[in-house]
Amino acid sequence: MLKSIFDTEVCAMRLLLIFLLAFGVSACSDSGGGGAGDTDGGGDDGPSELDPFVGLWNITGNWNGFTGDEAYMAIREPDSNNESAVLIYDFAGDNPDSGENCYLPEFDPGRLYVSADDRIFLDHNSFSDATVTLSADDQTLTIVFFDANDINGNGDSNEMLTSTVTRTTGLSEIDLQPLCS
């Protein structure tokens, strides 16, 4: 008789231990329903305001003070902070650069982000304090920027300039090869 009571108590303890372990594991799970590590900001809130800007833009022209300078601006997918990396690939084989037939990639990308008042800003070395707008057909990007480097050569580095660039078709960032070493 004593043995059967002892077996029942052990069985009950085992069941309680299994229940507590299962409850503890499910509380720490990431499989929905909340749990350890959940934050209010987690999850996908839908498309980003930056999504229409993503792609490769042909900025060939006087984007850096050299007429006809061939270059492309890549705007990448937004990250978890809703910011997109922005890189410029300058073709080294054109007249202004007179270098090899390769693209000079940037190692310090700029960023595209949405301001508190829902304007789109571009923070980049070549486009200082810039705002950007997209045409209704998503094919033209207008960049209004502070001419800190006096790219138009008029001696005024305190003016705002406007550059209008077009989206590339049939070309992506990965196609910009070879990269200069």
Query: What single DSSP character describes residue 31?
Result: S
**3-state DSSP: the chain helix, strand, coil percent, rounded to 5?**
20, 30, 50
Digit-coded pLDDT (tens) for 143-170: 999 888 888 888 888 899 999 999 999 9
Digit-coded pLDDT (tens) for 112-151: 999 999 899 998 878 878 999 999 999 999 999 988 888 8
Residues 6+ apart with CB under 8 A from 140: 134, 164, 165, 166, 167
Strand 110-114 and strand 120-123: the pairing is: antiparallel
The pair of three-digit structure tokens given for residue 153, joined into one six-digit string: 């050569």
Q: What are the structural domains of the chain?
A: 51-169 (2.40.128.20)
Digit-coded pLDDT (tens) for 12-60: 556 544 554 455 444 444 444 444 444 444 445 678 899 999 999 999 8
Q: Quick one: how far is CA 7 from the chain centroid?
A: 62
Q: Quick one: how far is CA 74 from the chain centroid?
A: 10
pTM of the entire predicted model: 0.69
